[in-house]
Structure 1
Amino acid sequence: MAGVLDSVNQRTQLVGQNRLELLMFRLNGSQVYGINVFKVKEVLPCPSLSVLPHSNRVVRGVAYIRGRTISILDLSAATGGRPLDDIAKCFIIITEYNNTVQGFLVKGVDRIVNLNWEAIHSPPKGSGREHYLTAVTEVDNKLVEILDVERILAEVSPASASLSEALVSSGKREDALNTVLIVDDSSVARAQIRKCCQSLGFETVVLNDGKQALKHLKGMIADGQSPLDKYILVISDIEMPEMDGYTLTASIKNDPAMTNLHVMLHTSLSGVFNQAMVEKVGADDFLAKFHPDELAKRVLKQLELRQAAA
């Protein structure tokens, strides 16, 4: 355990070629869960918490850590389970998502494993729509469930996905080139981006991971259709099962038939984001989630550039 607690900060900078490091932890029971180490700032034994009156039931309290006050969310309660008990013996995983820092209360932290994104798979289709998973994998012959943290945060503290009136009034797109390809494994993120683009009058095609997206684009080319003739741009998450956004971007940019397709990496990897990696894979743009007006402005700007070039 000490090795995990001591090493997390030193390992958050890993950005590999379609690889990730997964911090495994437990809630109530024996099921193992995972979170990408790249999102983790620190792991600590749970400190004394101050309870906030009238707060969301998932928020167990706040803690003063490293000079800032951080909300502590019970991951078991947030995913429909019973709240964790005896929290003095629990741990908190301090994370940064979407430019915010929060702590997740867990029963215990196991270890860190290094995996290829190809070993990470979407949840089984029979699992329904109400689960809190973005992916599953197997470690030592045991199922590891990777939680949809963006959905959890959206339920605790919903972010507005609405555009300003000035942007909405820009009107419907009448251009032939009016479709945006959205690639994201989080159902919440997909819905947010789709709503933003559709509010501007754009059509959308939505896929769950980089492997699906690349297959879709290559299928278009095989059928004699250029992705550049259909899509104004690709908006892709970075963390996705099967194939991450870095690998998807590099695959697009290395294909002569798609190299000029505009790719925006749109991710909750804020704060520790590796700009050098974005440049290495050839992404055209990067935006931290989720700022609907800024996203809309960049989509409209890309349309203007394509129209000017045409």
Structure 2
Amino acid sequence: MTGILDSVNQRTQLVGQNRLELLTFRLTGGSQRYGINVFKVKEVLQCPRLTLIPNSHRLIRGIAHVRGYTISVIDLNLAVGGKATTNTNRCFTIITEFNRTIQAFLVGSVERIINMRWEEILSPPDGAGKGNYLTAVTNIDNELVEILDVEKILAEIAPISNKMNPLIVEEINQVRKDIVRRVLIADDSAVARKQVELAISSIGFEVLTVKNGKEAYEKLLEMSRKGNIYDQIALVISDIEMPGMDGYTLTAEIRSNSDLKDLYVILHSSLSGVFNQAMVERVGANLFIAKFNPNELGNAVKTALMK
């Protein structure tokens, strides 16, 4: 298991090709198979010694000291509605870095890494309900694999404010009043979509939301058939990881379409890594910002309006 991420640098070559690699795992006492994007994973370890913290959130099993970091360990089984994990000695922790934080998820077992195309990753079925923790599903070896909306879990543990600094709001209101105040947001996480929507709405913009890059591109094509796209929308704010079509591929498709090629595109992602800026330049996105800071998002919108 210690060498499972040794070739992570080679995996950056997948980015921009609408591909990803999933690390699959199962929770304690359960048969359901889950997956997480390898780019979110820093390390996989046998569960280290945990220290209990009084008055901590009920989903936090304890904290662990790993390579100089003090990391909260989240009981993923409990987070998705199962029973609390009792015997952690036989469990693993998946240490992740995204949304500007490092955290670990307690799981029962870790299996393998699977190379896939984003077209094979599907949005969860409509019948899953609003309270579910799924952001996507796929099929591997004739078995359903669920991809959890980890951003939703983290938001429940540590809610993030979507309020923007009033000074930034005022500055945005003074910039290019002739530009249409409408933004297209693409994100597969319901929590992330709502965070961005509330922040953008607070500065007086109309918001259009879609669940993935494919829906975003189809929406833009539909709008362009009705007239000049630049009279209908100011910019696109897109996640990177999305079923069907990722944000890098969406950006590349926009740049290759003569009716859309000059749209301002902000990639807004929980993914961390040094490859992000290089990929932004490679596919032609205007800007990359990490989730989620409403003031940084506001400044990014201001920059877009000043172009």
* TM-aligned CA deviation for residue 273 of structure 1: 4.3
Paired residue type of 2:237: I
Q: Which moved more, 1:267-276 or 1:201-210?
A: 267-276
Q: How many Å separate the matches in 2 of 1:272 and 1:158?
A: 27
Q: Which residue of 1 aligns with 2:299?
A: 297
* TM-aligned CA deviation for residue 56 of structure 1: 0.5
Q: How many Å separate the matches in 1 of 2:47 and 2:193?
A: 33
- Between the two proteins, the alignment pairs up a number of residues equal to 301
Q: How many Å separate the matches in 2 of 1:74 and 1:12?
A: 29
Q: How many Å separate the matches in 1 of 2:266 and 2:67?
A: 33
Alignment gaps of 5+ in structure 1: 306-310
Alignment gaps of 5+ in structure 2: none
Residue 282 (str. 1) matches residue 280 (str. 2): no
Paired residue type of 1:97: F
Q: How many Å separate the matches in 2 of 1:201 and 1:172?
A: 8
Q: How many Å separate the matches in 1 of 2:268 and 2:228?
A: 23
When residues 253 and 121 of structure 1 are mapped into structure 2, their CA distance, relative to the original with a 3 A threshold, is same
Contact 1:96 1:271 in 2 (8 A): no
Q: Per-residue CA shift, 1:75-103, capped at 9, x if unaligned?
A: 11111111122111000000001111001
What is the SS of the residue equivalent to 2:167? helix
What is the SS of the residue equivalent to 1:231? coil
* TM-aligned CA deviation for residue 231 of structure 1: 1.3
Contact 1:9 1:40 in 2 (8 A): no
Q: How many Å separate the matches in 2 of 1:12 and 1:123?
A: 30
Residue 105 (str. 1) matches residue 102 (str. 2): no
Q: Which residue of 2 aligns with 1:152?
A: 153
Contact 2:213 2:245 in 1 (8 A): yes
* TM-aligned CA deviation for residue 226 of structure 1: 2.3
**TM-score w.r.t. length of structure 1:** 0.93
Q: How many Å separate the matches in 1 of 2:126 and 2:229?
A: 28
Q: How many Å separate the matches in 2 of 1:288 and 1:299?
A: 14
Q: How many Å separate the matches in 2 of 1:274 and 1:170?
A: 28
Q: Per-residue CA shift, 1:98-139, capped at 9, x if unaligned?
A: 111001000000111110000000000111110001000000
What is the SS of the residue equivalent to 2:3? helix
* TM-aligned CA deviation for residue 271 of structure 1: 3.7
Paired residue type of 2:116: L
* TM-aligned CA deviation for residue 218 of structure 1: 1.1
Paired residue type of 2:154: L
Q: How many Å separate the matches in 1 of 2:297 and 2:179?
A: 21
Q: Per-residue CA shift, 1:148-179, capped at 9, x if unaligned?
A: 01111110111111111223445868645110
Q: Which residue of 2 aligns with 1:10?
A: 7
What is the SS of the residue equivalent to 2:115? strand
Q: Which residue of 2 aligns with 1:203?
A: 206
Paired residue type of 1:65: V
* TM-aligned CA deviation for residue 272 of structure 1: 4.7
When residues 286 and 13 of structure 1 are mapped into structure 2, their CA distance, relative to the original with a 3 A threshold, is farther
Paired residue type of 1:29: G
Task: Trace 1:135-284 onto structure 2 (pairs within 5 A).
Answer: 135-170=136-171, 175=178, 177-223=180-226, 225-284=227-286
Q: Which residue of 1 aligns with 2:129?
A: 128
Q: How many Å separate the matches in 2 of 1:216 and 1:288?
A: 24
Q: Which moved more, 1:202-211 or 1:265-274?
A: 265-274
Identity %: 53
Contact 2:76 2:106 in 1 (8 A): yes
Q: CA RMSD in A?
A: 1.5
Contact 2:276 2:288 in 1 (8 A): no
Q: How many Å separate the matches in 2 of 1:88 and 1:140?
A: 29
* TM-aligned CA deviation for residue 274 of structure 1: 2.8
Task: Trace 1:71-82 onto structure 2 (pairs within 5 A).
Answer: 71-82=72-83
What is the SS of the residue equivalent to 1:135? strand
Q: How many Å separate the matches in 1 of 2:95 and 2:10?
A: 15
What is the SS of the residue equivalent to 2:260? coil
Q: Which residue of 1 aligns with 2:97?
A: 96
Runs of 4+ deviating beyond 4 Å? 169-176
Contact 1:170 1:200 in 2 (8 A): no
Q: How many Å separate the matches in 2 of 1:207 and 1:79?
A: 24
What is the SS of the residue equivalent to 2:11? coil
**TM-score w.r.t. length of structure 2:** 0.94
Q: Which moved more, 1:91-100 or 1:7-16?
A: 7-16
Q: Per-residue CA shift, 1:196-217, capped at 9, x if unaligned?
A: 1110000110000000011111
